[in-house]
Structure 1
Amino acid sequence: MSWSTPEDAMPWVGLYVAIASLVCIIAMAADALHGIWRWKLWFPNKYFTLNAVSLSLIAIAMKLPVDLNSNDDSESNVDLAKLVSIIFLFTMLANILPSLGLMNDKELLVNMVALCILIITINVNLWIQAVALIGYPDPVILFMLIFPLLFVLSVALTVPASRRNLEHQYMELHALTSNSQDIHFSFKEFTRKVKKYWMMAETGNPQFALACSQVSSVFGFSLLKRLTFNRSDSEINVRAEMKEYTTYVLQIQDDAKLSKRILRNTLNSITRFLQVSEKKRPRNLIKLLRSSKGFNGVIDFDDERVPPLISEVIHNSWSLVVVTLTAIAIALPSLSDDRIKQLLLSVNEGLYFVRHVEECLNNEGESLVHSRKASRRVGIEVEVYRKWLQIDLQKMARKGKTSKEIFQWLGDEAVEIVKRFTNYKNASLDHSLHNFIAANTMYRISQTIHFHYNNDKYWPTDKEVIVHVTTLIADIFLACFTNLPRVITLKCHHDALEKRQDSIRTAAEILGKSKKVLKILKVCQLPNLDIDSMAYLDKWHALSKKDISNISTFAYSGELLMVTIM
């Protein structure tokens, strides 16, 4: 490649400008698709936001307007290209400005200074070109060039006050909405709560406020940023719902009411999202929960009469105990491959809720943190490879060993891992600590079941052992899920404004998926535990048998549910 004159390099410069413009277009299109995917009438900035990268791309895309040199032979083409570039600049500004809403004061100042310098540079170059060509700048052209700068500054100046105003309104409504601390499992009540917070989070988003503001509409940016959906207004009680949830709409100006079309779409978006989440209900988990007869499993999984391996106290996490019981079930003989797959599906669906419970409520204590990490490490190995700490779980079953021998084998393997860790404790790594915790849990649970059956006159059949293990899993899941109301309530709100919408979407997804789980919990009589203690498995385990109510069957959808394990 050789260039004899600067003009020879112009095609490559043009390609450079075209690539930068294409990247901007792709980012704007991605924001548009993201908005459509989430059923919005406006396009929130997720990919095309005002930052150093986007400013660099805009500067490259504006190469033609700032170029003071032009080829006289193609002057009309150059002018047309510059005009198109200016229109493209307007379009980019229209799409990028809502991102100002989520910036703090320092970020806003830095980015606005950089953007103003870029716009002023473009203006100065265009003024110089206009004076050089016709001797004076056309007033209309002059206004068109100054207008973007004035518009950008006018929007930026309103952002800090708007953010504070919206945040103040949000916190006032949050204080009124989050008063109740009672535990209940009413899907309808939680649906109303989620919709209230959805309206607060959506309309309290400064990006949304900017997109719907009158200043933005003057620039024509509301036309660029909104989309009309085909919708059916025949939804049941839609007008009544709009009237109920209008109270939770946040506005910068009291006299500037949002249109009914926007309010209806905002409400419809959460309704659709809940409906989609309901369709993702955990069918396999529901079948597993039907095998539970109460909360006895939270006591029966670990017996204090089993001698401890170590003197340290290791706190039990919901997820690690469930994963360990699942590993034990897979190791047992007479469990078909189809039943193993169904059990793994059930456990995975249950662990989705358990993870949220642990992340929201079990966030105190280093021991629980390590226990959760151990459950993730072991859980992947059990699900994908049907192994536990690199030990083939089905090895003994293939050799024809009995369930009694398998329990003893699992206990022996766990003891060896614990011994290796204690012998090299000072040189241990994180994964060794997690293995140690997982091994200690396996020892406690496997030997508890072994001790339980060894004291009986006859060792039970393989089917009875499998029923017992799966019932333990179901009982522990059920006890853990009593915390879902608190999780949903906590997920409805987030202190960080930029994370608020994602948090309420998570709450809505949990609520939709757990609809039938909440129905099952309605028939359960909760033990005498305070709301904070209910989040911890060890608190449940400390209860006595008489504190746990037995439920022989679940009344579900008006039918008596029978459970088939094998």
Structure 2
Amino acid sequence: MSSAPYFSGNDDDEYVQTRLNAPMPWIGAYVAAASVVCALAMAADVVYGFRCKKLWFPCKFFSLNATSLTLLAVALKLPVDLTTNMWAVTDRLAKVSSLAFMSTATANFVTSLGSMGDQEIIMNVTALSILVITVFVDVFIQIAEMRPFIHRHLIFPEEVLVAVFMILLLFLLVSSAIMVLSTKRYLDGKYQEMHSAVLSQELRDMRQVTTQGLRALVEKYWVMAQTSNPQFVIAGSAICTACGVICALVFLITAEAEIRMILVHKRLVHTASVYGNSTTWILIVQSIGVIVGSVAPLLRWCMAIKFRCSSEIRNFCFSRDEFKIREYWTERLVQWKGSSSASGIRHRKFRKFVHDAKGLTLDQFMNIQIFIILSSKLILVVSTSLLCPFYLCFQRIERLRMQRRINSLPRDADQSGAVADLRFYALRLDGEVQLPNDALKSITDEVDDVFKIGRIQGSNSLLQFLRASHSFNGVIAFDSNQVPSLHYREPPNCWSLPVVTLTSIAISLPRIPRESVDGLISSVRRGLSYAKLIEKCLYNSGDLANIRKAAETWAEVELYRKWQGVDLGKLSRESDNSKKSLENLATVAIKTVLDFKRKTGGCLMMSNPLNWPDNIVSANSMYRISQTILSIHNQSDHHDEQQQADEHLFQLLSDMIADILSACLTNLSRVITMKCHRNAIEERERSVFEAALLLGETEEILELLWGRELPISPDSEQAAYIDGWRSVMELDNGIQLNALSSSENDPPENSGDHVFIKIMED
């Protein structure tokens, strides 16, 4: 029987230590990998900012959250390691680079506070504070314990400076968090005031809606959403400017430390710790991360200077008003101070003591907050004073170059006028500078780019398909009141359900060329995407839920050419004529509905069609529409060849679908208008983007539809529902309604069974 080798004394300790140190290079590689992920996320934000021409660089990929904090905690393994000997050149530089990496990450986190709710801000800022303070304390514990050995290396000054800057950046981030908690309310108030003004103007112009009017409306809300975006406001604030300055200093200190170590020790790659060569990788990755992560804070700093150096507001930065402390900077601290505290303590003296202690503490925090704000504003003013001459010189050169482009002068003049009109809708906090024309033009250029993307993504096939429709008669023609009901109450309709049902019938017709069927499906697919969007936006929550869900059979129809298990392609091939296909579909639908009625018996809940399962609603729609088409087919001229008769019926179905989609898509203007406004401040930018994209995609469709005489006003509540259109059109045509609206005095429930027996006998 074998036994483990025996060690004693120092040999045993050395063996254990060797075994413990063995995985340390892999741990170092893990640290490097976590640093790579963070660096890539910061780089992604930089690329996204340049690509979207948002040089204030919103935090989209690298935000303050649990994931990023966990990755940073891993990346900061070296600074918090107090037991490992790390006195070689690379080891010491790796510690400095880790601290610089954390400082850069903190500077990048500042704007992400604008995308969080109040509770998220408090929780995430608290977690980051714990992490940064822990690292800061560990670094200074190590420095204090190693004071007798400071003369043995030359890296402590940079390490101390970067650690101090790291804690300063944390203070700036906390100060921004306090400001953001109040700023959102201010921005939301200004947005609601502007929304009321735009809404009143929209109500005045509602009768003269055009695509140009919709485009102007989207542009207004785009400017409002962009300029009221808390991330955008933070990016232009004095605190974010101070973060950019400190981030630049951290970058310079890190570069200086690496250059100095190369000059002093004649080499940079030299490790002596148990982390091995992984320390080199950590140093390389985190140094690159510092470089990449410094881009966004530095350009935000430059953006703030550019705003203040513009010719319209050049003298603003030197006024006393610049150093005025606005209410929103300290409002949340004042609220916390005035709130009741220690309510769970019964003794009055203890409650008083706790309340006074809280008040004194918050007073100190308020003083610190004011000091940070004033210091940040001073940094911004000094930066502007130093760099403004260079910017103005560059601006003059740029203007001289633009003057040579004579051909573009009329267009530029028009754009300047448009920008001036939109300035009224640019929202800014009290005390903040107004946006210069070039910054506002950059914002309007963004929405123009979205319009262009929408036009590229627009469907020409759907536009051509809708042009084949010259009226809206298909809205009432697809379902005849003469078709007997299978139930004493008929379910209501939504836009998408009859479109899916009519398309399923069209696919089942025999002798129809494949390219015609594929073209119809392609057009319907795009039209249904808009129809479902209209239903989602204009219908109340849960309104016609089962009816709309019944239209989800479209996925089966489009992908597999099946309807509730019936192979439409096989039905098309096996049917002798169109009448046979329609009868087969009607038979399946009738059996499905009446089998369901027999199983549910006298269930009161199931007697209401709004409670029917979606497959039963779909089957009832198939029965009614197929019976309607059969009656139209039976009344048509049968002297044509069968091929021509089938093609004629296919064209009839296509025209009905086009009519229904045309009526439905007249509601797009309301959807675009609704998407322009969102109460939630975090959703506005995305919602206006969707509105601009939708307008770009459907601009030609709207122009086509508005060129027709509409039987119902687009702003009417009835216009959102197909049953509303049917009611208006049937009344206009003198047709009396019967099936769509029923009462308690309707025929008894078993009347559908008689219909079924009669149809099956026929």
Identify whether the pair has TM-score above 0.5, normalized to the shorter chain.
yes
Work out the CA distance in 1 between the residues paired with 2:125 and 2:678. 27
Which residue in 2 is equivalent to 1:172? 193
Do structure 1's residue 337 and structure 2's residue 521 form an aligned pair?
Answer: no
Shift of 1:537: 0.5
The structure-2 alpha-carbon separation of the partners of 1:3 and 1:383, relative to structure 1 and needing over 3 Å to count, comes to farther
Alignment partner of 1:472 is 2:630: no
Task: State whether structure 2 residue 55 is matched by structure 1 residue 55.
Answer: no
Percent of pairs identical after alignment? 37
Deviations 1:187-208 (A, max 9, x none): 1111111111111111111111
Structure 2 CA distance for partners of 1:361 and 1:133, relative to 1, 3 Å: same
Structure 2: gaps (5+ residues): 1-15, 151-155, 248-293, 304-397, 735-762
C-alpha distance in 1 between matches for 2:612 and 2:570: 23
Aligned twin of 2:112: 99
| CA distance in 2 between partners of 1:337 and 1:454 (Å) | 25
SS in 2 for 1:542: helix
Which residue matches 1:437? Answer: 617
Query: 1:35 & 1:483 partners in 2: Cα distance?
Result: 34
Which amino acid in 2 is paired with 1:331? S
Counterpart contact for 1:363–1:369, Cα < 8 Å = no
Return 23-32 or 85-94, whichever deviates more: 23-32
| 1:537 aligned partner | 722
Q: 1:353 to 1:333 in 2, by over 3 A?
A: same
Quick one: which amino acid aligns to residue 194 of structure 1? V
1:319 aligns with 2:496: yes
SS in 2 for 1:312: coil
Residue 540 of structure 1, CA deviation: 1.0
Residue 550 (structure 2) aligns with: 374
Query: Deviation string for 1:406-461 (max 9, x for gaps)?
Result: 21121111112212322334899x99811111111111111111122324564772
Shift of 1:401: 1.6
Pairing 1:224–2:248 present: no
CA distance in 2, matches of 1:406, 1:467: 16
Matched residue SS, 1:71: coil
Against the structure 1 CA distance between its residues 283 and 528, is the aligned structure 2 distance closer, same or farther, given a 3 Å change threshold? closer
Provide the C-alpha distance between the structure 1 equivalents of 2:88 and 2:42, rounded to a whole number of angstroms. Answer: 31
Q: Give a deviation string over 1:80-133, Cα, whole Å, max 9, x none.
A: 001111111122112222121122222212221111111111111111122223
| Residues 1:537 and 1:423: Cα distance change in structure 2 (over 3 Å) | same
Match of 2:132 in 1: 119
Q: Distance in 2 between matches of 1:270 and 1:93?
A: 31
- Kindly provide the CA deviation profile for residues 364-388 of structure 1, in whole angstroms up to 9, marking residues without a partner as x: 555x211222212x11111111111
- Please say if 1:193 is aligned against 2:378: no
For normalisation by structure 1, the TM-score amounts to 0.89
- Structure 2 distance, partners of 1:459, 1:118, is 86
* Partner AA of 1:67 in structure 2: D
CA distance in 1, matches of 2:208, 2:668: 10
Q: Relative contact order, CA 8 A, sep 6+: which one is greater? A: 1
When residues 107 and 536 of structure 1 are mapped into structure 2, their CA distance, relative to the original with a 3 A threshold, is same
Q: Does 1:513 align with 2:690?
A: no
Q: Which residue is 1:208 aligned to? A: 232
Give the match's secondary structure for 1:46.
coil
Structure 2: how far apart are the matches of 1:296 and 1:484? 20
Q: Is residue 579 of structure 2 the alignment partner of residue 404 of structure 1?
A: yes
- AA of the residue aligned to 1:454: N
Which stretch of the first structure deviates more once superposed, 201-210 or 236-245? 236-245
The 2-side partners of 1:113 and 1:70 are apart by 29
Q: SS of 1:42's equivalent? A: coil
Change (3 A) 1:423 1:21: farther
- Give the count of matched residue pairs: 543
Q: Does structure 2 conserve the Cα–Cα contact (< 8 Å) formed by 1:488 and 1:510?
A: yes
Amino acid in structure 2 at the alignment position of 1:538: D
Letter in 2 for 1:406: S
Question: Using the alignment, how far apart are the partners of 1:285 and 1:20 within structure 2?
Answer: 48
Alpha-carbon distance in 2 for matches of 1:184, 1:295: 21
TM-score, normalising length: structure 2: 0.67
Aligned to 1:560: none
Could you tell me which runs of 5 or more consecutive residues in structure 1 were left unpaired when the two chains were aligned.
Answer: 550-566
> Which residue in 1 is equivalent to 2:78?
64
Offset at 1:254?
4.1
Aligned residue for 2:682, secondary structure, equals helix
Alpha-carbon distance in 1 for matches of 2:145, 2:488 = 88
Q: In the alignment, does 2:177 pair up with 1:163?
A: no
Contact persistence 2:99–2:162 (CA under 8 A): no
Secondary structure in 2 aligned to 1:525?
coil
- The AA in structure 1 aligned to 2:616 is F
Q: What code does the residue aligned with 1:371 have? A: I
Larger displacement relative to structure 2 (243-252 or 447-456): 447-456
Alpha-carbon distance in 1 for matches of 2:162, 2:33 = 28
Query: How much has 1:313 moved relative to structure 2?
Result: 2.9
Partner of 2:665: 481
> How far apart are the structure 1 equivalents of 2:195 and 2:457?
29
Between stretches 49-58 and 202-211, larger displacement belongs to 49-58
Distance in 1 between residues matched to 2:161 and 2:557, nearest whole Å:
71
1:554 maps to which residue? none
Q: Deviations over 1:193-231 (max 9, x none)?
A: 11111111111111111122221122117952549999x
2:732 maps to which of 547, 553, 559: 547
SS of the equivalent of 2:710 reads coil
What corresponds to 2:250 in structure 1?
A: none
CA contact (8 A) 1:421 1:432 kept: no
Q: 2:477 aligns with which of 277, 297, 300?
A: 300
| Separation in 1, partners of 2:216, 2:733 | 31
CA spacing shift, 1:113–1:161, aligned 2, 3 Å: same
User: Which deviates more from structure 2 when the two are superposed, residues 500-509 or residues 100-109?
Assistant: 100-109
Structure 2 contact 31–74 (Cα < 8 Å) conserved: yes
In the alignment, the residues of structure 2 paired with residue 390 and residue 238 of structure 1 have an alpha-carbon distance, to the nearest angstrom, of: 57
Whether contact under 8 Å (1:35, 1:41) holds in the other structure is yes
**Contact 1:18 1:61 (C-alpha < 8 Å) held by counterparts:** yes
Matched, 1:350 2:527: yes
- Residue type matched to 1:297 in 2? G
Alpha-carbon distance in structure 1 between the residues aligned to 2:57 and 2:599: 56
The structure with the greater share of residues assigned to helix is: 2
Write the distance in 2 (CA, Å) between the matches of 1:495 and 1:122.
40
Letter in 1 for 2:228: G
Please identify, of 167-176 and 37-46, the stretch whose mean Cα deviation from structure 2 is larger: 37-46
8 A Cα contact 1:299 1:543, kept in partner: no
Moved more, 165-174 or 88-97: 88-97
2:451 counterpart of 1:274:
yes
1:562 matched residue in structure 2: none
User: In the aligned structure 1, how far is the partner of 2:208 from the partner of 2:560?
Assistant: 39
Query: Equivalences for 1:4-43 in 2 at 5 Å?
Result: 4-43=18-57
Per-residue deviation, 1:60: 1.3
1:47 Cα offset (Å): 2.8
| Residues 3 and 317 of structure 1, relative CA distance in 2, 3 Å threshold | farther
In structure 1, C-alpha distance between the alignment counterparts of 2:93 and 2:76, rounded to whole Å: 13
Q: 1:213 to 1:223 in 2, by over 3 A?
A: farther
For 2:120 and 2:556, locate their aligned partners in 1 and report how far apart those are by CA, in whole Å.
44
Instruction: Measure the CA separation in 1 of the matches of 2:139 and 2:219.
Output: 50
